[in-house]
Structures are given as C-alpha cells and as structure tokens.
A and B are shown apart, each in its own frame.
Chain A
Amino acid sequence: MDITTLNLKDNYYYQQWQNLVQNEGLVIENLADITETLGIYDGDKLIATGSYFENVLKYLAIDPDYQGGNTFNKIVSTLINELAAQNVFHIFVFTKPKYKKSFEYLGFQIIAETEFSALLETGDYSIGQYIKSLPKVTGQNISAIVMNANPFTLGHRYLVEQASKQSDYVYLFVVNQDASLFTTQERIDLIKQGVADLGNVIVVSGDQYMVSFVTFPAYFIKSRADVAKYQTQLDAKVFKRVASALHINRRFVGNEPYSPTTEIYNRSMKQILPPEISLDILDRKAIDNDIISATKVRKAIQESNLEAVQKYVPETTFKFIKNNLPVLLRRIHNGN
C-alpha cells in the first residue's frame, strides 16, 4: 500500500476523494484551501487520504474497513514529513472531538476543544511557548482587543481609547496573517504609531493563535454560516486560554453592522467568554453618521481618493498611505 499524491483537478481522483471524505462526514468547502493531498490505495481503491493547507492538516479520512490499523499513522506521518521537507515543523490539525485521541497518540497536544471541534498542534512550537513569550503585567482590570486593523483607522483608535480609559492595562493582539492588503508588519507598525500616546496599551502579535488560518479560516475564506460558527467558538476558546494565563478579564470588540462573519464571531464570544471574561461590544464610531470602517478606507485607496482616506484614519496611517499609494494600488491590482 503506497502513498501517492492525488491530483484533485483530475475528475477521476476527485470523485474517489470526494466519496471517501464525504462518507466520513467531512464537509468539503473550497479546494482553494488545499495545498496538497495524499492518498493510500489498496489496489484501485482509495482507502485513506489527508491534505494540508499551509501548516494545517485537513480532510483526513480513512475507509471504515481500514480504520484502527496503521493507516492513520502512515498518512499523518507522511504529511508531517512532507511539510518538514518544506521547513514547516509547527503543525496544526482542526478535527472532530472523536479523533482527538488518535492525534494525541501521535504526539499532538490539545490547544482547545468545543463540542463540535478540537484544535491540536505538534512540532517545534506550542501555545505554551507563545504564552511564555508575552509580557506579563499585574492589575485589577486587564483587558484585551484583537484586531486585524487593515489598516488602523480612527474607529480602531476609538476602541483602544475606550479600553485604555477603563483598564489598568490593555493587551492589543494583532492578527498575524498575511492575507490582507496591508502586511502584518505594516499593520503592527501603524497600530503602534497610532496608540503610542496610550501608556497602558501593550501591542503584541496574535501569532497563529488569534484569528488565523489555523483557528478561524472562515475569516479569510468565504464559508458557510455553520462553519463560521464552530470555528469562532474554537477561536474564542483559544483566546480564553491565552487570556486566563495573562489574567485578562475583559475583552472589547466593535459591533459589526456589515459583516455577517464578525457578527457570528461576536455571538460565539458572548457564549464562550463569560463569566471569567466579560465582553464589551461597543458601537462603531461614526463621523456625521458615516460609520468608520477599514473596508471604506481600502475602497478609497482603490479609488486613489486620499481625501476620503484622511477622513477615516489617524495622521500616522494617512502618512503611510499617502507615501505608499502606488505600492498599495499595485497590490490591489494584483488581487490582494
């Protein structure tokens, strides 16, 4: 029984793969979120498969007649080696709770779990090391904000100001995923510049544990509502784990009149975070009844309308956009 790479663009392989994956009760979302797929055959029959996207294992399925043997170990092990050959050693898997044990048996460690899904990791880094790397503070009221800030607007500024006023310290976790118009480094820099005058705000990277392709792929890839629901619940659980280690007892978020995914996210947090962490959902800041949003800023950039950009962002962000307009336009043109 040899392992081969499956070319899912070929209908013959796709049909076999789809049957196996769907028989195991997995929902196929989008082939764009698969980098490579491996399969094991017994004769002409596909009996096991597994895929990965970046450093996340996905769509692991084994024919019921072959479960419980070495097949599972073989497919997971081959995926790990395949990623190692690309210098990827820190690997996640997003799976059903019933498979948790099978992964733990292969050295994976649980990060968080809900009744619908479990997130595990293995390799040369862990959530424990991430937590250890974060600066620690002491206080009665420690809050947190998680933001992508693509880019940092006056709306973000308002949210941070409110949190800053009402807390001893505010951890500002920046989404660390280069899937936005502004790169992670640019977003971090603009946030740091934009909150520099607020002494109790600590800007840190959310690493792969806060709203990343790992915890919350639906944030970046259009997905069905139920998918977003179980992902956001898991993301909220991961947040809770990090937050409890830092004694965070409050989280501030902006309400989201435009994005259904963010709306689902806020609902999941309301369900998962209390009582240890209270959730403050603030109304978005508006200028003359015009709600500030990063989406509007990006649209204004696309139209090269600097006047509109200036209306929504602090001076620091504006300067950056003005100085880098050709680069940003090029990125939009290239489909970022």
Chain B
Amino acid sequence: MEIKHTALAGTLESSDIQFTLSKGTGVEINLDSQVEKQFGKQIKKVITDLLSEYGIENVNVRAVDKGALDCTIKARLIAAIQRATDTQNQPNWEVLG
C-alpha cells in the first residue's frame, strides 16, 4: 500500500504514542522515547512488523512515545496507516485479527 498524504494518530499524553506518517523512500523510522534504551528495539519491531503486514514499503514514520504498551502502539499505528492510505472505511481484518 502507498502513503497518499501525511496523517497523524495518537496523543502525547502519558502511556500513549503519537505517530506522524508521511511519504518517503524506503522505511524510515524516527523514534523519540524516554525508554528508547530499554525498549527502542522492541518498539521499532512492532512498527516494522505492522508496516510490512500492510505492505507499506515507502514511508517516513515519526513516533513520539510516552511509554505506550505494544497494543497501544499497534492501535495508534493502524489508525495512522489507514488515515494516510485513505482506507479508514476498509479495515484490514487480516492484520486486525
């Protein structure tokens, strides 16, 4: 799938994460997190796994993490992806399931 325009999901409040997806070449992840040392790798893995499930190969991901759990990261990223690809009304059941 292709990123059609910039989209944002999530907040900057405690236990949440904010994603901004925009057009890019290749997958570029810019992660900002206070727990990057401990969990940076894990957070990035959740992001890259989900992107590849959606078949997104070109995207700039900007993530500002405020200590979100994996399930929150996934939920916010799914919302951002669907917004950025104009597929809000076509949930991807295979990924969600």
Q: Chain A interface (Cβ within 8 Å of chain B)? A: 70, 73-74, 76-78, 80-81, 84, 87, 89, 106-107, 122-124
Contacts and interface: CB of A to CB of B under 8 A. Distances in A.
A16 to B, nearest CB: 24
B13 A89 contact: no
Interface of B: 5-8, 11-14, 18, 20, 22, 32, 60, 62, 64, 66
Nearest to A78: B11
Given A81-B8, A87-B5, A107-B62, A124 B13 contact: no
Contacts of A122: 64
A106 B7 CA distance: 18
A89 B14 contact: no
Contact of A77 (B5, B7, B12): B12
Contacts of B60: 124
A237 to B, nearest CB: 24
A123 B20 CA distance: 7
B32 A107 contact: yes
A227 B89 CA distance: 48
13 contacts: A73-B11, A77-B11, A77-B12, A77-B18, A84-B7, A84-B8, A87-B5, A87-B6, A89-B20, A106-B64, A107-B12, A107-B18, A122-B64
A78 B20 CA distance: 14
A89 B11 contact: no
Contacts of B12: 73-74, 76-77, 80, 106-107
Given A77-B18, A89-B22, A124 B62 contact: yes
Contacts of A123: 6, 20, 62
A106 B5 CA distance: 23
Contact of B13 (A74, A84, A87): A74
B1 to A, nearest CB: 18
A124 B80 CA distance: 13
Nearest to B83: A84
B16 to A, nearest CB: 8
A122 B62 CA distance: 10
